[in-house]
């Protein structure tokens, strides 16, 4: 990452990478088929970390949560500066179609998250113009992030978030009740379809992880297996069977119970299930 940020992705060679890492080219190609594959792995790693920070559950009212989430977003300017430098200084979507598609999906994912959070915060007041407001919010935040990237010393993330929140309040108040929106749900059909496809894929992966835990539980004694399977059923119902958002405290409690069974045969399947649950909750945050 540091090398890509310093020299630029296009100017960095495989030889530069292996020399910086102190490995052979053979070792590099054992893990990656090309520099493009490495770039995609880096993009996914940092994008998921940043999205996890942004969508993390925090306490307080919906508006206070949104302020804190925006503050976390602005703190990325410092926390992930090298990654953001690479994103801003390179025409990465042109590297190959797979990277272009991934970045397009990430833009859509962030925009739809803004839509969801604006509905949570403002309710019916924002719904007639939800997509216009989300577009304005996305553009304003993007430009402020760009500015503070080059003036890092001059801002406080929480102060910026609260300042912008007051501006968003005013924007929503400015719409006339009978004003026709410029943008509608249909305007973003491609992003919405991609997001729904990704959600379905994650549901299938999560269901598969639950099946793996059930299979591993067969190696336990009958009483312990019954207890584990009952907890697994309750956890799956909470995450995949309810129409309401999963209750985080219950998900955490059930996972903790399963981990405390101290069954070596369950360890690998539980670790995979925990990771899939984390990813699923981030996507549905």
Both 53 and 177 in one domain: the answer is yes
Q: Report if residue 25 sits inside a domain.
A: no
pLDDT of residue 127: 94
| pLDDT attached to residue 174 | 95
49 shares a domain with 172: yes
The reply to whether 214 and 124 lie within a common domain is no
Q: 173 and 97, same structural domain?
A: yes
Please count the residues of the chain: 285
Q: Which of these three, 136, 159, 183, is where a domain ends?
A: 183
CATH number of the domain encompassing residue 93: 1.10.357
**52 found inside a domain:** yes
What residues make up the domain containing 94? 40-183
Classify burial at 16, counting beta carbons within 10 Å of its beta carbon; exposed 0-12, middle 13-18, buried 19 or more: middle
Quick one: 165 and 199 in the same domain? no
Name the stretches of the chain with pLDDT < 70: 1, 93, 152, 242-243, 262, 282-285
Residue 16: closest CA among 42, 36, 35: 35
Q: Let me know if residue 277 belongs to a domain.
A: yes
Residue 27 lies in a domain: no
Q: For the purposes of burial, counting CB atoms within 10 Å of the CB of 249, is it exposed (0-12), middle (13-18) or buried (19 or more)?
A: exposed
CA pair distance 244, 237, nearest whole angstrom: 11
24 within some domain: no
Work out whether the CA dihedral 165, 166, 167, 171 comes out positive or negative. positive
Residues 201 and 155 in one domain: no
Q: How many domains does the chain contain in total?
A: 2
Residue 237 per-residue DSSP state = I
| The pLDDT of residue 52 | 85
Domain boundary among 183, 204, 228: 183
Instruction: Say yes or no: 129 and 225 in one domain.
Output: no
CA distances from 142 to 79, 95, 131, 134, 226 (A): 16, 23, 16, 12, 51
Q: Is residue 205 part of a domain?
A: yes
Question: How far is Cα 281 from Cα 258, in angstroms, rounded to an integer?
Answer: 18
pLDDT at residue number 263: 75
Same domain as 163, residue 63: yes
Answer yes or no: do 49 and 174 share one domain. Answer: yes
What per-residue confidence (pLDDT) applies to 200?
87
109 and 132 belong to one structural domain: yes
Output b/e per residue, 138-169; b: 16+ Cβ within 10 A.
beebeebbeebbeeeeebebeebbeebbeebe
Whether 145 and 69 share a structural domain? yes
Nearest alpha carbon to residue 132 among 195, 184, 70, 169: 184
Alpha helices (runs of H) in the chain, residue ranges in sequence order: 2-7, 14-21, 25-31, 35-55, 62-79, 81-89, 97-122, 130-150, 157-173, 189-217, 222-236, 248-259, 264-283
What pTM does this model have? 0.75
Q: Which of 183, 207, 239 is the last residue of a domain?
A: 183
Yes or no: say if 135 and 107 are a contact pair by the CB < 8 Å rule: no
Residues 255 and 134 both lie in one domain: no
């Amino acid at each position: 990452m540091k090398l890509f940020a310093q020299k630029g992705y296009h100017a960095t060679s495989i030889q530069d990478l292996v020399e910086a890492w102190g490995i052979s080219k053979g070792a590099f190609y054992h893990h990656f088929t090309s520099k493009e594959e490495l770039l995609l792995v880096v993009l996914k790693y940092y994008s998921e970390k940043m999205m996890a920070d942004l969508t993390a559950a925090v306490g307080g009212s919906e508006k206070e949560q949104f302020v804190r989430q925006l503050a976390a977003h602005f703190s990325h300017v410092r926390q992930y500066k090298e990654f953001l430098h690479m994103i801003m200084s390179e025409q990465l979507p042109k590297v190959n179609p797979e990277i272009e598609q991934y970045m397009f999906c990430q833009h859509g994912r962030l925009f739809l998250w803004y839509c969801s959070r604006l509905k949570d915060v403002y309710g019916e007041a924002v719904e007639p113009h939800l997509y216009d407001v989300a577009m304005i919010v996305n553009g304003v935040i993007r430009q402020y992030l760009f500015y503070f990237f080059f003036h890092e010393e001059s801002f406080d993330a929480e102060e910026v978030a609260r300042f912008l929140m007051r501006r968003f309040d005013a924007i929503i108040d400015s719409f006339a009740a009978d004003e026709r929106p410029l943008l509608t749900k249909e305007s973003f059909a491609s992003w919405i379809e991609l997001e729904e496809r990704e959600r379905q894929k994650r549901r299938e992966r999560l269901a598969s992880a639950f099946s793996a835990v059930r299979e591993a539980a067969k190696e336990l004694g009958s009483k312990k297996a019954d207890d584990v399977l009952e907890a697994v059923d309750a956890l799956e119902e909470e995450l995949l069977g309810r129409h309401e958002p999963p209750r985080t405290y219950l998900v955490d409690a059930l996972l903790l119970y399963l981990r405390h069974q101290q069954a070596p045969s369950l360890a690998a399947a539980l670790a995979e299930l925990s990771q899939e649950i984390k990813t699923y909750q981030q996507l549905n945050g």
